[in-house]
């Protein structure tokens, strides 16, 4: 396989880097005995300090590819069709290459184009590296279309455990060639820097160039254990907040405490006066504290629905204070995304939307 760096000197010295060479690199250099032809030398170029050395541009590689196509097809027109180039464009590139090397590469007739001896000797030296390059590029394209390989998905702990892990188990059974690298994290991971393919974000989205697809919303509220709030207490009375400890949620990433707002003036005053006895940056941690009777805390309904049904928790201010946050799946771009990523995106969006609606109906 060719390495990415290819260089050229003004005296037509070309450097390619197949990884399987003894030195790790090859040099294609001008041999004056062959009248300016390029010959292959197994010469290391690491640390080359020749001031005339310059980086080969895309045009030079294209010229060599066109040279190979003309020799293979036997005409400028056929080579142009195989490369998607006009005939006069192919002829112009060959003429430029001949001028650069100072040697004629093809004998032209009205019916045929034939490589000269110089061209045949040049082709013998470059066909193998060019073939390796084509194989590598084709392999990348084939890999993109294969339903195999890694997908990195980032999601918060609580949401991931409740909604995503059950889905991923089913998805991977259907597509065993795909390996999921699941990041359970309550911090917002940058997709590009961390090479994350998909991320599920809950709440307001920061300004970014990411593409976001809304999956649904999560309802949340205030909850307390029945050990903390007696069954005879009025859950609609804001005095519950004044007389019980409160557990604050520190939003991961921003570091700010979750702000609770309401249109009810009395409840609003009670919320403003709250001084958290505990602060936690994990919803799972807040649930554990609430279940232990350590205070009143804000939690998503999907995390406490069973505890509500079993009578272990009660909802505080159920009509006076309701929270709803949007859920999005974010990605950089669909364009050129591997098929496996596009497949997971579509299945994940459909499944999570369905699960969010089901959770809403269960707690509604």
The torsion defined by the Cα of 343, 348, 349 and 350, in degrees rounded to 10, comes to: 90
Paired strand residues for 38: 30
DSSP 8-state symbol, 80:
H
What is the token pair recorded at 303? 């995390």
Q: Tell me, what DSSP letter sits at residue 32?
A: G
Residue 255 domain flag: yes
pLDDT of 21: 36
Identify whether residues 294 and 306 lie together within a single domain.
yes
Structure confidence at residue 167 (pLDDT): 92
pLDDT tens string, the chain, 364 residues long: the values are 333 333 333 333 333 333 333 333 333 333 333 233 333 333 333 333 333 333 445 557 788 888 888 988 888 888 888 787 888 889 898 998 898 888 999 988 777 788 999 999 988 888 888 777 776 765 665 555 558 899 999 999 999 999 999 999 999 999 999 999 999 987 776 665 667 899 998 887 776 667 889 999 999 999 999 988 876 678 888 888 888 899 999 988 778 888 888 878 888 888 888 889 999 999 999 999 999 999 999 999 999 999 999 999 999 988 888 788 899 998 887 666 888 999 999 999 999 999 898 887 765 5
Question: Which residues span the domain enclosing 340?
Answer: 149-215+327-363
Res 308: pLDDT: 92
**CA 150 remoteness from chain centre:** 11
Residue 226 token pair: 């029945």
Residue 2 belongs to a domain? no
Looking at the domain assignment, is residue 1 inside a domain? no
Q: How far is the C-alpha of 222 from the C-alpha of 15, rounded, in Å?
A: 68
The CATH number that applies at residue 44 is: 1.10.10.10
- Residue 53 forms part of a structural domain: yes
Does a structural domain hold residue 111?
yes
Q: Residue 55: helix, strand or coil by DSSP? A: strand
Q: Please report whether residue 166 resides in a domain.
A: yes
* Neighbour tally for 295: CB within 10 Å: 19
Coil, helix or strand at residue 95? helix
Largest distance between two CA atoms of the chain = 104
Distance CA 181, CA 197 (A): 10
Task: Please report whether residue 77 resides in a domain.
Answer: yes
Helices and strands in the chain, H and E counts = 11, 16
Which of 105, 124, 144 is a domain's end point? 144
Residue 320 near residue 236 (C-beta atoms within 8 A): yes
pLDDT tens-place string over residues 319-344? 888 788 899 998 887 666 888 999 99
The total domain count for the chain is 3
Instruction: Looking at the structure, tell me whether residues 227 and 201 fall in a common domain.
Output: no
Are both 114 and 199 inside the same structural domain?
A: no
Report the 10 Å Cβ neighbour count for 229. 20
230 and 279 in a single domain? The answer is yes
Are 337 and 203 in a shared domain? yes
Alpha carbons within 13 angstroms on the beta-carbon side of residue 326 total: 10
In a domain, 28, yes or no: yes
Domain end residue (candidates: 112, 144, 176): 144
137 lies in the same domain as 157: no
At 43 the pLDDT is 34
Residues 120 and 252 placed together within one structural domain of the fold: no
Same domain, 117 and 198: no
* Domain-terminating residue out of 144, 163, 196: 144
Together in a domain, 25 and 124: yes
pLDDT value, residue 285: 94
| pLDDT for res 165 | 94
**The pairing of beta strand 278-280 with beta strand 313-316:** unpaired
Q: Do 132 and 31 belong to one domain?
A: yes
Q: The domain that contains 275 carries what CATH number?
A: 3.40.190.10
Measured CA to CA, the distance from residue 249 to residue 260 in angstroms comes to 10
Q: Is the separation of the CB atoms in 10 and 54 below 8 Å?
A: yes
- Whether residues 115 and 92 share a domain: the answer is yes
Domain identity same for 288 and 194: no
The beta-strand segments (E) located in the chain are 7-9, 14-16, 26-31, 37-41, 53-55, 106-108, 113-115, 149-155, 178-184, 198-202, 211-225, 246-249, 278-280, 296-300, 313-316, 323-331
For the chain, the C-alpha Rg in angstroms (whole number) is 33
Q: At 108, is the secondary structure helix, strand, or coil?
A: strand
């Amino acid at each position: 396989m060719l390495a990415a760096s290819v260089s050229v000197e003004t005296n037509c010295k070309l450097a390619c880097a197949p990884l399987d060479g003894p030195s790790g690199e090859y040099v294609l250099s001008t041999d004056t005995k062959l009248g300016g032809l390029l010959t292959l030398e197994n010469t290391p170029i690491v640390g080359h300090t020749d001031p005339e050395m310059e980086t080969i541009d895309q045009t030079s590689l294209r010229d060599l590819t066109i040279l190979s196509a003309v020799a293979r097809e036997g005409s400028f027109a056929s080579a142009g069709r195989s490369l998607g180039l006009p005939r006069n464009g192919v002829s112009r590139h060959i003429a430029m290459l001949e001028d650069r090397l100072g040697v004629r590469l093809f004998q032209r007739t009205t019916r045929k184009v034939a490589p000269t001896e110089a061209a045949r000797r040049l082709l013998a030296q470059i066909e193998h590296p060019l073939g390796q390059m084509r194989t590598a590029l084709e392999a990348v394209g084939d890999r993109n279309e294969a339903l195999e390989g890694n997908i990195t998905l980032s999601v918060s702990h609580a949401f991931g455990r409740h909604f995503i892990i059950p889905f991923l188990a089913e998805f991977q059974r259907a597509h065993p060639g795909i390996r999921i690298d699941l990041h359970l994290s309550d911090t917002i991971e940058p997709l590009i820097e961390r090479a994350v393919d998909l991320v599920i974000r809950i709440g307001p989205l920061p300004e970014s160039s990411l593409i976001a697809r809304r999956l649904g919303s999560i309802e949340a509220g205030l909850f307390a254990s029945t050990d903390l709030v007696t069954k005879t207490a009025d859950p609609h009375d804001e005095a519950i907040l004044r007389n019980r400890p409160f557990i604050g949620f520190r939003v991961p990433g921003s570091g700010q405490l979750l702000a609770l707002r309401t249109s009810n003036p009395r409840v609003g005053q009670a919320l403003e006066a709250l001084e958290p006895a505990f602060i936690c940056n994990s919803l799972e941690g807040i649930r554990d504290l609430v279940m232990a009777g350590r205070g009143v805390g804000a939690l998503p309904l999907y995390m406490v629905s069973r505890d509500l049904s079993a009578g272990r928790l009660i909802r505080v201010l159920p009509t006076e204070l309701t929270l709803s946050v949007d859920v999005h799946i974010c990605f950089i771009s669909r364009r050129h995304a591997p098929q496996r990523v596009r497949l997971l995106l579509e299945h994940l969006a459909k499944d999570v939307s369905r699960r969010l609606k089901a959770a809403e109906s269960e707690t509604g």
